[in-house]
Structure formats: structure tokens, C-alpha cells
């Protein structure tokens, strides 16, 4: 059974009654609830727990980490960031949601600014499937429509994704690469755009399907890890 | 249960006692035997059967098609080629083995000559894993070593693979992109280099692991197929 | 000086006075005019000329071929299609415009159906730059806006592009991968979406910039062609 | 005229008479000499200069930065690293040579460990061209052969390159992705493997050709920079 840890900043939920109303158990609570139904072994972790809830033991027992953060990216300690990045390179899957584009973890794995355009104006969003062969789109129709969402617009300053799965259309005139996969070391990373805290996006069944599919896709592969450093020759080297 | 059809030209086995000695049940027999152990529902089809064994019914009931051909690519009818290509675009997985690089099916899906260098001289081959995050390498070590194989050398005239998984080293001085994935429409394609008919390559357990993993990876995704053609607007278009 | 041949079907211009009004010298005339200003040695060729204007001599003297076709794709002879594809694999650049997505040449190079959604309804189109590092976007702003264009919508059934340069937003609610590069053999291919015959798109200076940049980008590289076929070893092979 | 800065650690040259013998003017001296012949405006900078020779003014006046470092990666200040990375994201080209794979700058742009296998044992290396359409291979044959070089072997822990241009064969049995391009923000990055300090690799004319071609390829594109942050809608957003 795939072991998932859902990490959430969990700050908006405490400060903003609108957010608390939509997510009474926190964004992490909503996400872990549907992932449990999806057949995963799910735990949660939040910013204000000791070590942000991401101790060595928790990370060692996490196959796939889901990440939601927004207003407190800077409060995540560099030590934790380095541990998470190491675990990804070692094989742990990582699902970065929405404003997590600006998390230290994602920026470190991308090597770019991860900047973008944004607007909170109740734009309608339509996420079009552009890779119908990908397991992350299992069970979906041609597009997912969200009546209201925050807009994220191009240019999205990330490396060209290894696989581009969703493209978003926004009512106000912008587009966005909303579903992007990246391989980093032994690990797989999926960035998925939707999920502003003031909208009930994670209650949407199609959004839940995507995240559930992504967890399956990102689960680690069991194989021998590469060996690095000084290496003896496997064949005889000629005298020259 | 994933339904696999193993297609083989099955000509070398009839003509060459060396090949018949290595593969008494044909290359298709050897491959279907280990795929059955891998938990798939496996059937075989060969060139000299009516419609090359690939009737509409067979293709409709195939989730993943494995393809081995060499000296009789031209005898595969264009009608069958077109049907196979259509099924791939519709979602059927395709595993193209070794000399299948020159099959009509693969060339049509690639759009290039698919040409390469080759030599039958008992080169040692070492297939290095270059994408350790990929499910196709599950259970493998850092490389697979084959004591003797036909050499295939660069330049391999295919489009840049969507994912590059194995690179081969050959004793005679060449390299080759030996494990390449491609998405085509709703379907997934994996090209895997080894498997010259005069060597017992498909009896090698690591090679069997790769092909088994590839079948799992290439199995179709259940989702709504894209709709093409004239489309009504989803939003109101302004008068201009 | 880069030698460009602009190929046009040149049928709409003869049948439809609206098109003839916008492009009195044909779409090929409009394109060749701005490419000449761009410093290229430009010739034109059209469907109804002998061999569609693409004789062996013309092709041998073409560095980059620009292709516009729509209602008469089937009238292009397979012989010419094969010659064009061969020249691309040999290094000739190819710029495929708008409805050329359904040309035999492009479909053959892609290996997919190249199908898409479409609508002629005066949608506003906004082409967003998603790869600001690419020479094809030299001189551009963040996006190109076209007041009215035909809509092309996803899913666009092509292989994932090697480089994705433009994404289109359409007023009616769709998105499209509008600027896509592909490497095929020794040649470079650029697909560029805009250019429906009833709109003055090729008179737009930014569209002209893109096509001019694309011709520079697609110009052949002078290098030794790969050698294929049986190859002698470069190193001694051990007895086994 | 493209402005190039060749940055070199310049330590081996001072400590090791073998290196000083091969590169009497330093590795930076050798590289800048052939780049000047290539028609670029070339300056050099080294680790022990103030600010490592990479002041704001120098960086602002650099179109393409060439980077060679090995034993003193840690001595490069984080401040300089951050400035170089920012300039790359802003459009400056970056050519990372050989042991520069472990430089802070490259690791930061990649987001991975950039680790690999290595051996100093006079392996013969053969760099095969796998993308014959790319401007970086202009003027080359099918491969470049180096009689003796340090071995770098897979797995190379970098993101899958945007374009893979060279694959190396090593006498001792390894392979390596030796020519890799990456886009980061507005900038282009090329990693090129050869160049161990105890071999005369940068005196090899074909290696010089590759680096010269790479500088041309990596030169910045003149275009409007993307705008990030809060964005007003370009279209009217409906009341919901």
C-alpha cells in the first residue's frame, strides 16, 4: 500500500473563516480524506508541528509527499527543505499543488524562479487534457471546468516539463501549463495548478481523480540505486 | 488482467537451426512464456497466419502488442500496418523489439527512416540505466550485461524519445539509445534494442523483467477519447 | 543567403474573392514578400504547377520550405510528398503553417493523425510565449494578439513537441499548442498555427517576425551526414 | 559581436606542472584564444580575482559565460553564484565544461546532485553525434575521438536534457550523456563533458568547434522579458 503524507501550511484555515468554512479539517484534511478512499495509507503533516511534521522517520516512511503552501514558504526551515529534496532524489514522489510553485522545495528542484502571473478575480478555468495517453488523466473527460479559480498565467518560469498533461484556459485571457511532470534523480514530481484556498477546488471529484492518479504515478520504483564516484573499469583499458 | 498479443515474424526459427535451437517454440513462444508468468493474458500471432494473425477481433482484444520482425517486414500488408497504427493511436500499447526498428509499423509511427549501424560480431553489450525513476527499470541493477549481441550503433534515425531509459555500450566502440519511449495519440510505445535471433537474449531474466515492466507501463489508460472536428464555442464570442 | 521556397496550394485565392482581396498575390506572394525583406533568397511554388512546383532541382536548392495547404491536401502526389519528407530528413528546414497540419507531408513526419478541433467564428486569439529563450521569439512581446482567427483547439494529435514555444488562448474557451518544433533526421520542423485564409494574418508584423525567425532557425546545419548500415568495429572485439 | 567571458578556477595550472605544460596560459587562455579566432569579443575571469572576476559590470556585459572549475567549487561565493544564476535566467548563455558539472552554479540550475561515475585511467573516449540537426554539431563528423580522457559514466544525475547531442563511449565499458542542452528562464545552458586538465583536450580542433558552435547557439535572444505578478484581465470576467 502506497504511503502518502499530505503536507499543508495550514495557516489560511486558522485565519480566514471563508477558508475554514470550505475546509473545516484543513486543506490537508480534505486531501487526505479522498486519498484514503483511493486506497492509500495516508498521514498528514503541517508547518507548525515540530520539524514541520517532516521528521526523518516520517520522510523515510513516505512514498509520495503532497505539498500545499502559500503565505509561509519562508518559514519552512532550510534543513527540512534539504531533507525533502534528498528524499525526492532518492525516489520519493512529490505532488506540488497550486501556490506550492513558490515553495522552497519546488524552486530548489526546478532551478528557476517559478514565477508566474496571478489574479484573484473569480476567473472560470478550463483544464484541457493534452496528453491523453498519460495515467494521470485516467477517468477524465476532455477537460475539467472550474467555475471560479485564481488565475495563473504564462510565462511560468519553470524548466520545460518532461511531460505536459494539462493546459488551462482562463476567462480573463491567459493560458497556463497546469499539469507538468518532472523526473529528478530517482523521484517523480507532478505540479498541478488548481487549488486556491478560497474555492472548494479539492472537493471537485475530477480534481480528486487527478491527484489520486498522480500519487499512483509518482510512487517509487523498486530498483538498485545508481552508484557514484570513482569506478573501476569493466573492460581492459589499452596502454597508450 | 492486461491482454497481450506477442507478434512474431517466425521465419528465422523455420530456416535456421541455430535459431530453432535457441527458441524451439519460436521467439514468440519464449516471450509469451515469461509474460504469462508475469501475470498477463497472453496470445501469440505470426506473419504466416491469415491477416498475419492480427484480425480486427484480435486487435480489439489486445491491450499491448509486442512486435518482433526482421527479414520479412515487407510482407506485412499495408492494411494490417494501418490497423495496428490506428489501434496504437486509439490507446493500445506497443513494444517494438530489436530489428522491429525497421518494421512498417514503427517507421510509420516515427516518421523517420529508423536507420542505424549494425554488425553481427559477438560484441559484448552493456545497457546502462539512465532514468532510474522509470517503472520500466523496476527490479534492475545499474546495467544489464549481454555477453554477445548484434551491435546497433548511432546515429539511430528516430525522433528524440520522450523518455530515454537505456543507453548501450558496445565492445566495438559504438553507443545506442536502446530503451526509448514515445507517446502517439492515446497510445504508448517502447522500443527496446536487444534480441538478435541467434543469441539467447530473451532467456535472460533481466531482459524479461524489462519487457514485463514495459507491458505494464504501456497498458492503456481508461479515459474519454478526445473529440475532433468542428466545435461549438464554450464561451460567448464577442461581435467584432 | 538562406534559400527559401514558399509553397502554397493557391486555390482559395482563385475561388474566393474575400481571400483574393486580402492576398492579391496569393498567400505565397504575401509570405515571400516579407521573407525577401528579411534577407532570404525566396522562390514560390504552387500546387497546379508541374510536379507542384517542387521538382528535384527546386528541392535540392531549397534550404527551408514553407508550406500552406488546406482544401487540396489529397491532390499533392505521394511522389512529391516522399521527396519532401526525404529532403527534410536530409536537412531541409520545414515551416508548416495553419491548415498544413493536415498535409500529407506533416502527417507523415509526425506519425499521428494531426487532428484537432476547429471553428470559424471570429474568435480572438492570443498567442502566449512560453519559451522566452528561443530564437523564434526574437523581437516579440509577451504575446501576439489576433483580433479574429479560426479557432484550433486541443487535443492536437501530434507527438509531444521537442520545444513548445507558443500557447494560444481562444475567446470561445479553447487552448492550443500553436508553436511546436520537431527534429526529424537532419532536419528541423516548425509548426505555426495562425493563418486562416479569410483573415489578414500574414500581414501582421509580429506573425511575419515569427515566420522570419523560424526560417533562420530551421536553416540546415553543415555537417557530415550519419552513415548507416553494416559497420566495422572501431575497437577490437574479444573472442568469446 | 557576441561578448564571451571565459571563467576558470585556474588552480591546477598553478600547482601541477603537467597542467601548466599543456595550458601555459591557463585553460581560460586556451579557450579564449580559439573563441577569439571564432569571431567573439572574449574576456577572461578567474577564481582568485576580486569577486572571482565576475563583478556586476562584467556579468552585465557578458552574453555567454564559459565555466571551468574542479577542485575549488566551494570557494566560489554564494553571492557570485546567485548573480550568475540570475543572469542566466535573464538570458545570458552558459557553457559548463567537464568538472563544472559539480559547480554550485550548475547544481543550482539543475536542482539535482549532478553526480556521476569517474575514473582517471587514460580511457579512450568517442563522442557520438545523436542529434545531427543541431547547430552545435556544425562542421563535425559522426563522432569525435579523444585518445585519452578521464571517464565520466552514467548514471549522470541531471534532469533529462531538453536536447541530447552527444553520447560518449569509454574504453572501460561506460557511456555518458556528454552534450546536453537546458533552457532555464530566458537563458540557454550547454553542458559539454570533455576537458580533464591533464589532457590537451581544448587544443583539439573538433572540441574547439563544439564550444564555438555552443557559444553561438547560447547567445541571448533579444525580446521583451516576461512580466510576472498580479495581472489585470485582458478580457471581461463574468459575474458569477
Q: What is the pLDDT confidence band of residue A199, given thresholds at 50, 70 and 90?
A: very high
> How confident is the model at residue D105, as a pLDDT?
98
Question: Which among C129, C155, C168 has CB closest to A132?
Answer: C155
Chain A residues whose CB is inside 8 A of the B141 CB are 223-224
Chain A (5-44) residues lying within 8 Å, Cβ to Cβ, of chain D: none
Closest to A38 measured CA to CA, from A233, A161, A216, A202: A216
Share above pLDDT 90 across residues of chain C, in percent, rounded to a whole number: 99
Q: Looking at the predicted structure, is the pLDDT value of residue C240 above 90?
A: no
> How confident is the model at residue D240, as a pLDDT?
85
pLDDT in tens, A129-156: 999 999 999 999 999 999 999 999 999 9
Given an 8 Å threshold on Cβ–Cβ distance, is A113 in contact with D89? Answer: yes
D162 at interface of B, judged by CB pairs closer than 8 A: no
Question: Do D191 and D94 form a contact (C-beta atoms < 8 A)?
Answer: no
> How confident is the model at residue B159, as a pLDDT?
98
Which residues, 6+ apart, have CB-to-CB distance to D226 below 8 Å?
A154, A155, A157, C129, C132, C142, D186
Question: Which among D134, D138, D223 has CB closest to C222?
Answer: D138
Q: Could you tell me what percentage of chain B is helix, strand and coil, using 3-state DSSP and rounding each to the nearest 5?
A: 35, 30, 35
Residue A72, burial from CB neighbour count under 10 angstroms (0-12, 13-18, 19+):
middle
Given an 8 Å threshold on Cβ–Cβ distance, is C237 in contact with B116? Answer: no
**488548481: which residue's cell?**
A194
CA distance D129 to chain A (A): 22
Residue D37, burial from CB neighbour count under 10 angstroms (0-12, 13-18, 19+):
exposed
Whole-model pTM: value is 0.98
What is the 3 state secondary structure string of B150-216? EEEECCCCCCCCCEEEEEEEECCCCEEEEEEEEEECCEEEEEECCCCCCCCHHHCHHHHHHHHHHHH
CA distance B49 to chain C (A): 27
Q: Tell me what the mean pLDDT of segment A170-174 comes to.
A: 98
In this complex, the chains that touch B, judged by 3 or more CB pairs closer than 8 A, are A, C, D
pLDDT in tens, A55-78: 999 999 999 999 999 999 999 999
Given an 8 Å threshold on Cβ–Cβ distance, is B167 in contact with D160? Answer: no
pLDDT in tens, B109-140: 999 999 999 999 999 999 999 999 999 999 99
Residue numbers of chain D with a pLDDT score lower than 70? none
The string over C120-147, giving b where at least 16 C-beta atoms fall within 10 Å of a residue's C-beta and e elsewhere, is ebbbbbbbbbbbbbbbbbbebebbbebe
Question: Which among A108, A159, A227 has CB closest to D183?
Answer: A159
Chain C residues whose CB is inside 8 A of the D135 CB are 221
> Which chain B residue's Cα is nearest to A235?
B171
Strands (E), C75-202: 93-97, 117-129, 143-153, 163-170, 175-184, 187-192
Question: Do C6 and C26 form a contact (C-beta atoms < 8 A)?
Answer: no
Which residues, 6+ apart, have CB-to-CB distance to B125 below 8 Å?
B145, B146, B149, B151, B168, B169, B170, B171, B194
Residue numbers of chain B with a pLDDT score lower than 70? none
Q: Residue C167: what are its φ and ψ, rounded to 5°?
A: -120, 130
CA pair distance D233, D239, nearest whole angstrom? 14
In this complex, the chains that touch A, judged by 3 or more CB pairs closer than 8 A, are B, C, D
A133 at interface of B, judged by CB pairs closer than 8 A: yes
DSSP characters for A73-130? GGGS-HHHHHHHHHHHHHT-EEEEEGGGGGSHHHHHHH-S----EEEEEEEEEEEEES
Residue B40, burial from CB neighbour count under 10 angstroms (0-12, 13-18, 19+):
buried
Chain B residues whose CB is inside 8 A of the D168 CB are 175
Given an 8 Å threshold on Cβ–Cβ distance, is C133 in contact with D91? Answer: yes
Report all structural domains of chain B as residue ranges with CATH numbers, in order of start: 3-114+177-218 (3.40.50.880)
Closest to D102 measured CA to CA, from D93, D116, D92, D114: D114
Given an 8 Å threshold on Cβ–Cβ distance, is C171 in contact with D235? Answer: yes
DSSP structure class, residue A137 = G
Q: Looking at the predicted structure, is the pLDDT value of residue A227 above 90?
A: yes
Chain C (167-206) residues lying within 8 Å, Cβ to Cβ, of chain A: 167-170, 173-175, 177
> For residue C56, is the peptide bond before it cis, meaning its omega torsion is within 30 degrees of 0?
no
Given an 8 Å threshold on Cβ–Cβ distance, is D240 in contact with A122? Answer: yes
Given an 8 Å threshold on Cβ–Cβ distance, is A231 in contact with D151? Answer: yes
Q: Looking at the predicted structure, is the pLDDT value of residue A240 above 90?
A: no
Determine which of A129, A223, A231 to mutate to test the interface with B (most B C-beta atoms within 10 Å). Answer: A223
Which residues, 6+ apart, have CB-to-CB distance to B13 below 8 Å?
B19, B20, B23, B26, B27, B197
Which residues, 6+ apart, have CB-to-CB distance to D195 below 8 Å?
D27, D68, D97, D98, D99, D201, D202, D207
Closest to A166 measured CA to CA, from A106, A202, A120, A207: A207
In this complex, the chains that touch C, judged by 3 or more CB pairs closer than 8 A, are A, B, D
> How confident is the model at residue C143, as a pLDDT?
98
Chain C residues whose CB is inside 8 A of the A155 CB are 128-130, 132, 142
C111 at interface of A, judged by CB pairs closer than 8 A: no
Q: Which helix (H) or strand (E) is B67 found in, with range?
A: strand B64-68
Given an 8 Å threshold on Cβ–Cβ distance, is C183 in contact with D135? Answer: no
CA distances to A105, A193, C163, D64 from D211, in Å: 33, 39, 22, 11
CA pair distance D136, D124, nearest whole angstrom? 22
Question: Do B54 and B230 form a contact (C-beta atoms < 8 A)?
Answer: no
Strands C117-129 and C163-170: antiparallel
Please provide the size of chain A in residues. 240
Please provide the size of chain D in residues. 240
Strands D229-230 and D64-68: unpaired
Amino acid at each position: 500500500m502506497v504511503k502518502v503524507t499530505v503536507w499543508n501550511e495550514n495557516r489560511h484555515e486558522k485565519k480566514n473563516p471563508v477558508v475554514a468554512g470550505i475546509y473545516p479539517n484543513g486543506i490537508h484534511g480534505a486531501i487526505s480524506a479522498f486519498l484514503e478512499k483511493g486506497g492509500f495509507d495516508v498521514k498528514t503533516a503541517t508547518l507548525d508541528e515540530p520539524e514541520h511534521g517532516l521528521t526523518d522517520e516520517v520522510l523515510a516512511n513516505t512514498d509520495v509527499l503532497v505539498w500545499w503552501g502559500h503565505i509561509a514558504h519562508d518559514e519552512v526551515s532550510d534543513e527540512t527543505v534539504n531533507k525533502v529534496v534528498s528524499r525526492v532524489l532518492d525516489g520519493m514522489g512529490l505532488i506540488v499543488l497550486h501556490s506550492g510553485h513558490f515553495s522552497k522545495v519546488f524552486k530548489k528542484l526546478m532551478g528557476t524562479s517559478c514565477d508566474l502571473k496571478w489574479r484573484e478575480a473569480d476567473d472560470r478555468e478550463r483544464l484541457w487534457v493534452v496528453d491523453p495517453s498519460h495515467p494521470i488523466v485516467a477517468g477524465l473527460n476532455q477537460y475539467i471546468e472550474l467555475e471560479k479559480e485564481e488565475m495563473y498565467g504564462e510565462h511560468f518560469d519553470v524548466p520545460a516539463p518532461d511531460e505536459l498533461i494539462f493546459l488551462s484556459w482562463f476567462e480573463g485571457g491567459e493560458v497556463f501549463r497546469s499539469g507538468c511532470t518532472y523526473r529528478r534523480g530517482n523521484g517523480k514530481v507532478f505540479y498541478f495548478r488548481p487549488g486556491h484556498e478560497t474555492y472548494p477546488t479539492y472537493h471537485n471529484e475530477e480534481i480528486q481523480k487527478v491527484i489520486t492518479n498522480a500519487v499512483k504515478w509518482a510512487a517509487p520504483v523498486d530498483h538498485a540505486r545508481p552508484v557514484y564516484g570513482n569506478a573501476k573499469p569493466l573492460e581492459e583499458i589499452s596502454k597508450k
